[in-house]
Amino acid sequence: MPSEPSSPAKDWYRSKAEESAQEVLQLKKKVKTLQQSKRRLSKRCDASENLIKELKERKLLSEKGLEVFEATFSPEIQQLLVRAHEKTNRMYPPELRAFALTLHYYSAAAYEYVRSKFNNALPSQRTLREWYKSVNGDPGFTSEPFDFIKNLAKSQDKPLIAALMMDDMAIKKHVQLVGKKVVGYIDLGTGISDDSLPEATNVCVFMLVGMNMRLKIPLGYFFMESLSGSERAALTQECLSRLSSIDVEVASLTFDGAASNFFGCVRGKGGYNMLLCTAL
């Protein structure tokens, strides 16, 4: 049977039909991809809700800690955790570093629990200790004083014995853009600047005073809204651990008479009960 003669109009319609078929195929692939993405997001959302529920039931985080965890445990963070687990040579992005430091600050037990849930995708606590160091005067434990004290302790023919002092000061609520960074929210030396976090109302300062030599030096500070006893204990224990690693013997801990400070002293572990705790 002879083929039907072609014409410019038929060729044009045939070309348009082929283009439409290709477009429909691409749209179907896009719909399939979106459906898969939706299912993955739904699973992550369910997993996130279950994880928050488990943390609450196990009482691994305080009420404030849970509030901050929910605000920072975003789908993007969960995706970064999955990617970090898949990589052998892990380079942690700033967002994941900030999340890890914040969670560890509020509860080391909660941090280890979340870390186990993601197959150790989060860094070890030893790595976190290095991340806690701050330079340029930002909130956190500043690296310069610890380096100075370390060199001072090495130069002495006797152990450096000192007293650790901790105090809170009230500050006015105020959020401001300084350069490219927004300041005014709670900042525990993690680098997180998120308007979902509460505005800071207090600053907690740590200072070391020598007992067998002339020494008085601030170690770091943290912007906060409020701290429970367990959270304050975790922060103080981190400071004590840092001082112990540079051969400084802390003989006493001095703080004001706030109930959270007393509770933090009771909750302390790893040598806390060997300190002379003084409330002013």
User: Does residue 117 sit in the same domain as residue 167?
Assistant: no
Q: Provide φ and ψ at 154, rounded to 5°.
A: -70, -30
User: Does residue 14 sit in the same domain as residue 2?
Assistant: yes
Give the tens place of pLDDT for each residue, 247-278. Answer: 899 998 888 755 455 545 544 444 444 455 55
User: Does residue 68 sit in the same domain as residue 166?
Assistant: no
User: Does residue 212 sit in the same domain as residue 120?
Assistant: no
Of 90 and 15, the structure prediction assigns the larger pLDDT to: 15
User: Does residue 86 sit in the same domain as residue 217?
Assistant: no
What's the total number of domains in the chain?
2
Nearest Cα neighbor of 164 from 50, 277, 20 is 277
Task: Give the residue-averaged pLDDT of 219-244.
Answer: 83
User: Does residue 105 sit in the same domain as residue 225?
Assistant: no
Give the tens place of pLDDT for each residue, 52-63. Answer: 888 888 888 888
User: Does residue 255 sit in the same domain as residue 162?
Assistant: yes
Give the tens place of pLDDT for each residue, 98-139. Answer: 788 878 877 888 899 999 888 888 888 888 877 766 556 788
Q: Compute CA distances 114 → 66, 79, 81, whole Å.
A: 13, 14, 11
Which of 92, 110, 131 is the endpoint of a domain? 131
Q: pTM higher than 0.75, yes or no?
A: no
Asked if 173 contacts 201 with a C-beta cutoff of 8 angstroms, the reply is yes
How far is it, in rounded angstroms, from Cα 16 to Cα 22? Answer: 10
Nearest Cα neighbor of 235 from 224, 249, 248, 247 is 224
For residue 266, the model assigns a pLDDT of: 45
Domain that holds residue 194: 132-279
Tokens 């070890």 -> residue: 124
Give the tens place of pLDDT for each residue, 173-231. Answer: 888 887 777 888 888 776 666 666 788 888 999 999 999 888 899 999 988 887 667 77
Three-class DSSP category at 140: strand
Give the tens place of pLDDT for each residue, 128-170. Answer: 877 766 556 788 888 888 988 988 888 777 889 999 999 888 8
> What is the dihedral sign for C-alpha 185, 242, 237, 257?
negative
How far is it, in rounded angstroms, from Cα 67 to Cα 90? Answer: 28
User: Does residue 62 sit in the same domain as residue 142?
Assistant: no
User: Does residue 85 sit in the same domain as residue 121?
Assistant: yes
User: Does residue 4 sit in the same domain as residue 122?
Assistant: yes
Position 34 pLDDT exceeds 80? no
User: Does residue 8 sit in the same domain as residue 62?
Assistant: yes
pLDDT interval class at 95 (50, 70, 90): confident
Sheet holding 160-170, edge to edge: 133-134, 140-142, 216-224, 202-210, 160-170, 248-255, 276-279
Task: Give alpha helix (H) positions in the chain.
Answer: 8-57, 63-72, 75-86, 94-106, 108-117, 125-131, 143-155, 229-245, 259-267
